[in-house]
């Protein structure tokens, strides 16, 4: 395989898991870690001081930097793996042509709050990144299982299938199987929606609903998500008939995020169901639950699409308008089929 320079922006659990995959595959990386103290700890102890602490790295394969410009300048492929709410701050200070002739891989699972747009739209506006140079990296996969080298599947999406295959090849390991998809926009919205539904699944669990109810809730969520994705495809004048919304990057990611104890969105929702306020749940979790901001973003986006999204609307009302979870889920019970 041609030697290529890979950069990673972000140092949370998912960024750390991605760094493990790439370095396990024999590639050196340039890695942006925001705080110099964390870099020094990493170099000394060979593991992330805050996330996936049992994953040890060959630091001779890693060039750390606290300057995002340095990582971008030194890389041919840049993987962005920071929470959507922090993207603008992370890329602040980069010149408009910073990503010219570079491939950008999004490992972000959210809409950018305040902007209500996907990462590819933001990069196009701020840095003139064409969609042809933009790829997505999505699950179903939890960082914890990747770190434990349990078999996981990653789906890479891009408008050019051959270029997408080239990018995916850098991630193929004994414990990672890669799949290819050309639905760049749809997979991103699926990644956004599944986090909202996982919050709902967590709320249901916190309210002491059982597995029987949860299975019906998720089945209805899958149908609602398919309706949302179809509307997005139609608004882009693309044929939604060719999309298999039961594939792993759609349904599989929804299932694992709703059911798994590793899911921070499910955990966040569970706290809400048990009576925590949103702020208290944020402080307790100490990690970003993408579904919280995503629920508001999707409601704004849907003002144009006008899709019936009763589950997402109900979760938004609980999180942002202070609706009672018990009463709201009683209403949800009536609409499930």
Point out the residues that are catalytic: 194
- Omega of the bond leading into 73 within 30 degrees of 0 (cis): no
d(CA 310, CA 312): 6
Distance of CA 119 to the CA centre of its chain: 11
CB-CB neighbours of 3 under 10 Å: 7
Q: How many whole angstroms separate alpha carbon 162 and alpha carbon 223?
A: 31
**List of E strands, 164-226:** 176-181
Helix (H) or strand (E) holding 209: none
**Residue for token pair 């798994």:** 260
Q: What gap in Å lies between CA 330 and CA 42, rounded to an integer?
A: 48
**Angular region, 4: left φ>0, alpha ψ -120 to 50, beta rest:** beta
**Lookup: tokens for 231:** 């509307």
Q: Dihedral (C-alpha) 16, 319, 305, 255: value to the nearest 10 degrees? A: 50
Q: Please, which residues have CB within 8 angstroms of residue 269's CB and are 6 or more apart in sequence?
A: 198, 199, 200, 201, 202, 203, 204, 205, 206, 289, 291
Could you tell me the two tokens for 86?
């922090």
Which H/E stretch holds residue 243? none
């Amino acid at each position: 395989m041609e030697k290529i320079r890979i950069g990673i922006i972000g140092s949370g659990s998912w960024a750390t898991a991605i760094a493990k995959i790439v370095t396990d595959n024999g590639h050196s990386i340039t890695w942006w870690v925001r705080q110099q103290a964390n870099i020094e700890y990493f170099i000394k102890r060979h593991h992330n001081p805050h996330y996936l602490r049992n994953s040890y790295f060959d630091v001779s394969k890693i060039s750390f930097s606290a300057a995002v410009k340095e990582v971008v300048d030194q890389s041919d492929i840049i993987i962005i793996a920071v929470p959507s709410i922090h993207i603008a701050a992370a890329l602040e200070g980069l010149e408009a042509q910073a990503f010219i002739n570079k491939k950008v891989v999004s490992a972000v699972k959210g809409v950018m709050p305040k902007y209500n747009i996907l990462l590819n739209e933001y990069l196009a506006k701020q840095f003139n990144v064409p969609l042809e140079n933009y790829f997505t990296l999505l699950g179903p996969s939890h960082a914890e299982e990747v770190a434990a080298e349990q078999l996981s599947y990653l789906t890479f999406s891009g408008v050019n299938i051959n270029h997408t295959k080239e990018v995916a090849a850098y991630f193929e390991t004994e414990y990672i199987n890669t799949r290819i998809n050309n639905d760049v926009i749809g997979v991103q919205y699926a990644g956004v929606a599944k986090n909202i539904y996982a919050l709902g699944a967590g709320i249901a669990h916190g309210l002491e609903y059982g597995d029987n109810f949860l299975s019906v809730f998720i089945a209805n969520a899958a149908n609602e998500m398919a309706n949302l994705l179809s509307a997005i495809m139609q608004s882009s004048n693309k044929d939604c008939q060719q999309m298999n919304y039961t594939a792993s990057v759609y349904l599989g990611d929804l299932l694992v995020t709703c059911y798994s104890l590793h899911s921070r969105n499910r955990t966040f929702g569970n706290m809400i169901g048990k009576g925590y306020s949103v702020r208290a749940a944020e402080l307790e979790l100490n990690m970003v639950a993408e579904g919280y901001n995503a629920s508001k973003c999707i409601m704004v986006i849907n003002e144009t699409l006008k899709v019936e999204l009763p589950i997402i609307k109900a979760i938004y009302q609980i999180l942002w308008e202070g609706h009672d979870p018990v009463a709201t889920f009683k209403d949800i019970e009536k609409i499930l089929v």
